[in-house]
Amino acid sequence: NFMLTQPHSVSESPGKTVTISCTASGGNIASNYVQWYQLRPGSVPTTVIFEDDQRPSGVPDRFSGSIDSSSNSASLVITGLRTEDEADYYCQSFHSSDLVFGGGTKLTVL
């Protein structure tokens, strides 16, 4: 079974940089694209990264994504943290005809 594992929570101070990992098991992370979604209470969910490292228009360049085949993982990096970045972040990929989501990471900016 292909699975994506994320840390349950991360926290960092405003202005700092945070990295959220998404580790694949049961398959190769590089076989299909990885997306990252931001879910904030009371807001429309936002796709912040698609196709591993592409940023949709309107998403600040403080958000970046990457894939590391050696560790079979994807990463979302947010620089210059702002309080409005506080949200749940989900990685997502595709395997055997199914969308697969990580369990989500709660980012606290304090």
Partner 1 sequence: QVQLVQSGAEVKKPGASVKVSCKASGYSFTSYYIHWLRRAPGQGLECMGIINPTGGTTTYAPKFQGRVTLTRDKSTSTVYMELNSLRSDDTALYYCAREGQHAGTGTTYYGMDVWGQGTTVTVSS
Judged by the rule CB under 8 A, the positions of this chain that interact with partner 1 are: 32-33, 35, 37, 39, 44-47, 50-51, 56, 90, 92-94, 98-99, 101-104
CB closer to partner 1 out of 1 and 70: 1
CB closer to partner 1 out of 63 and 90: 90
Tokens, residue 27: 């398959």
Helices (H) and strands (E) in the chain, counts: 0, 10
Query: At its nearest, how many Å lie between partner 1 and the CB of residue 54?
Result: 9
CB closer to partner 1 out of 32 and 73: 32
Buried/exposed 73-108: b ≥16 CB within 10 Å, e otherwise:
bbbbebeebeeebbbbbbbbbebeeeebbbebbbbe
